[in-house]
Structure 1
Amino acid sequence: MQRFPPLTHGDITLRALAKRDFRVLRKLLIADREWLIPWEATTPGIRYPLDVRWMIRSLMSQAKKGAGLALVMEHEGKVVGQLNVANILFGSVSSATIGYWIAKNSAGKSIVPICVAIAIDHLFTEFGLHRVEIDIRPENTASLRVVQKLGLRQEGTKERFIHIDGHWRDHNIFAITSEEIKGSLLSRVQNTGGQ
């Protein structure tokens, strides 16, 4: 299992998910259902209630096996969303995939781009990974702004890639390799003023 120490930039912290985060995550996920549903993965043919305990257990299990990282984003000491690293592979592939969500009232404050930059920098420097990918629905303009701010390159489209809200949805592929970063990815966000 890979350890992930709390990483802080100003009033933003990215840290490991803990069981104690259950209540606040449940509250945020329930309060922002309409905001999040268009982007959340679903299982074809199954409608099930939100099970935050199962989600936390599943993410922590993946992290324990070394296949992922389950993280929370904090702003001014309060949990405002999650950032998860999945499909961590070492060796000849040395890559991972990042996904995230943020509470509606915390969106637009550069929290997500800063946390994604911190995570990618850590994956490259501490884990020794070579490539990180983020897959985004073409309609998700807020997430598209994140990868644009960070300078991730678009590689193509995965057609009918993930089942979301009752349909198989296309996702654009964005990626970056360690050779593409001079210094740190966080410095890119700082140089754009987080805008």
Structure 2
Amino acid sequence: MAAPLPTLSEGAVTIRPIRVRDARALERELLDNRSWLSRWEATSPYGPTEFDVKYSIRNLLAHARAGQGIPFAIEVDGEFAGQLNVSGITFGSLASATLGYWVSERFAGRGATPTAVALATDHCFFTLGLHRMEICIRPENSASLRVVEKLGFRYEGLRRRYIHIDGDWRDHFCFALVVEEVRQGVLRRWLDDRVPALNAEIPEADWRAAGVKRS
């Protein structure tokens, strides 16, 4: 079953289905933000590979047609600002998916990322009927850690050498929500300042295990 490809907005932030014609804007943002993004980008353990922006978009759209993902473009005031991908969509007894995202440096700190994540999570819970949403973040990525803290994603543990990022297998902190925790919606809970304190708190032992000082 193919997942719907909605357009969702809150204030200046919109998430919409990415399109092949976004390739030029996407490539420009990726090139202009190399130093901002390269530390967090997935790589191949088998060696360097060529990156074709149009092929990447078409691949994301193919997964969407198969019902396995929802590839969003993030816009701020109508300007292309980044990407958010819902991947690994599974229905049935698991009913879960994973979220990944990035925004250009010039949009950082403007609430675009937590708004986009909240919109996508609410769509997955209340329109698709999923039960659990997961976000995995490198311990060094303080900006992404602030997103899950703002939205109240619950910390679930350290995954050792979990994803190949920036040329090596990297540890990740795992966060999740289930729909019973956010009956009013992730976005509404955040905007109403009702996010439970310390939901995303990471134990000191896990910071030590990851070899990263708490930022």
TM-score, normalised with respect to structure 1:
0.96
Task: Tell whether the 8 Å contact from 2:182 to 2:189 is kept in structure 1 after alignment.
Answer: no
Secondary structure of 1:23 counterpart: helix
Q: Contact 1:113/1:189 (CA < 8 Å) preserved in 2?
A: no
In the other structure, the counterpart of 1:170 is 171
Give the count of matched residue pairs.
193
Larger Rg: 2
Paired position in structure 2 for 1:125: 126
Listed as ranges, the gaps of 5+ residues in structure 1 are: none
Q: Which residue of 1 aligns with 2:42?
A: 41
Shift in Å, 1:45: 3.8
Deviation at 1:96, TM superposition (A): 0.2
CA-to-aligned-CA distance 1:138-169 (integer Å, 9 cap, x gap): 11000000000000100001100011111100
1:1-195 to structure 2, matched below 5 A, reads 1-192=2-193
Instruction: Give the unaligned 5+ runs of structure 2.
Output: 195-215
TM normalised by structure 2 equals: 0.87
Deviation of the 1:4 alpha carbon? 2.0
Render the CA deviation track for 1:166-185: whole Å, top value 9, x for unaligned. Answer: 11000010000000013111
C-alpha distance 151-4 of structure 1, shift in aligned 2 (>3 A): same
Question: How far apart, in 2, do the equivalents of 1:7 and 1:108 lie?
Answer: 20
Q: Which amino acid aligns with 1:11?
A: A
- Counterpart CA distance in 1 for 2:193 and 2:21 is 35
Moved over 6 A (4+): none
Supply the distance in 2 between the matched residues of 1:92 and 1:98 (Cα, whole angstroms): 19
What root-mean-square deviation, in Å, do the aligned CA atoms of Structure 1 and Structure 2 show? 1.2
